[in-house]
Amino acid sequence: MSTKKATPWGKAALVDEVVVRQQAPGSEGQSPRAFSTHVQLLETDSGERLVRLAYATAAHGWVRRGPVTMQLDDLGRLLDELAEHPELAAAFRVNGSATRRRPSARGLRRRASPG
């Protein structure tokens, strides 16, 4: 699964992917709408890992980027699927998976000066 994907951080290889098929009721007189949510683990050339959430409609079949909306039952199915995808599960820190957190300048808190 080494397909390259475009990201704001440059091209990234597709490392793993979970696809959850979903269905929404159609409007009055319309048939239900089928689509799927794609959770993709990507890796840049520098080794940084990214998670992409996207969806695809059954009518078109190609993956589009967000917004992604999931019902709670579908989210539960996603979590079940992650059990078979340890690297992707680690990115979400589920199933007992843990990855070392990288420090981020946005996450740093500054202390008030003592004076």
Percent with pLDDT over 70 in the chain: 78
Domain that holds residue 14: 4-93
The answer to whether position 63 is within a domain reads: yes
In a domain, 114, yes or no: no
78-104 tens-digit pLDDT? 889 888 999 998 888 875 655 444 444
**Cβ atoms within 10 Å, residue 68:** 16
Q: What is the pLDDT of residues 54-66, one digit of tens each?
A: 888 877 777 777 7
Instruction: Name the nearest CA neighbour of 54 among 73, 39, 75.
Output: 39
pTM of the model: 0.67
98 found inside a domain: no
Domain count, the chain: 1
For residue 88, being part of any structural domain is answered with yes
Predicted local distance difference test score (pLDDT) of residue 102: 44
